[in-house]
Amino acid sequence: MIRAAMRGKTPNEELKRLKRGGAGMRRLLLDDLREERQDAPRPLSRNLEGYMDGAELRPLYGIHKAARLAEHYLHRTRYGRPANRRFAEAADALYFDVRQAVATLVHNWRAGAPLPRSTSKVLRSKVAAFSKRLAAFGATLCSVRRAECPCCKGTGRIFGEAGADRAVVAVLEDAVKAGRLAYEPGLGYYGIG
């Protein structure tokens, strides 16, 4: 019984369900505006290399792709590696801008009517601008690398004089709280940058 209910919930099946009955892209964009998308963003489960390539050629589909990629980056900064969490505010701002563009489009687009050419032209330029911003943000997230801590050499333990280790650990913990360092139990302290 449960398996029967779970069937048909794949992303492609969900897209087909949303597109049925005409005005499919309008429904899809309305689905991107649901409140739970902001509260619990969904990750993309595909390779992001070239995800936005040619998005401005089909502006309605392109704005949907921009919304999904912004939602993915929001998920990645909230729930991903600790090193990416410092970009959460920037991801939230990017997601807000894309969401505002989608909301404006849906508000001005009459249900059942085709998208006017003037709106399509403006949307094309917005999608191109969002493609550049999303590519720059993705490059920023991918540039974060680990650097081995000179104090613990990645072990998470400090060796030295008695009492010196507590003082060093206190400094390292302050750096973790400030976001300059990160700590994971298996990796120890590591630099973000």
At 135, phi and psi to the nearest 5? -65, -40
Asked whether residue 75 falls in the same domain as residue 111, the answer is yes
Asked whether residue 181 falls in the same domain as residue 118, the answer is no
User: How far is the C-alpha of 121 from the C-alpha of 114, rounded, in Å?
Assistant: 14
Asked whether residue 106 falls in the same domain as residue 177, the answer is no
Asked whether residue 114 falls in the same domain as residue 186, the answer is no
Asked whether residue 54 falls in the same domain as residue 15, the answer is yes
Q: Which domain holds residue 121?
A: 2-142
Q: What pLDDT, in 10s, does the model give residues 80-135?
A: 877 788 888 999 999 999 999 999 998 888 877 777 888 888 999 999 999 999 99
Asked whether residue 11 falls in the same domain as residue 90, the answer is yes
Q: Give the pLDDT score at 132.
A: 94
Asked whether residue 137 falls in the same domain as residue 167, the answer is no
Q: pTM (2 decimals)?
A: 0.68
Asked whether residue 97 falls in the same domain as residue 187, the answer is no
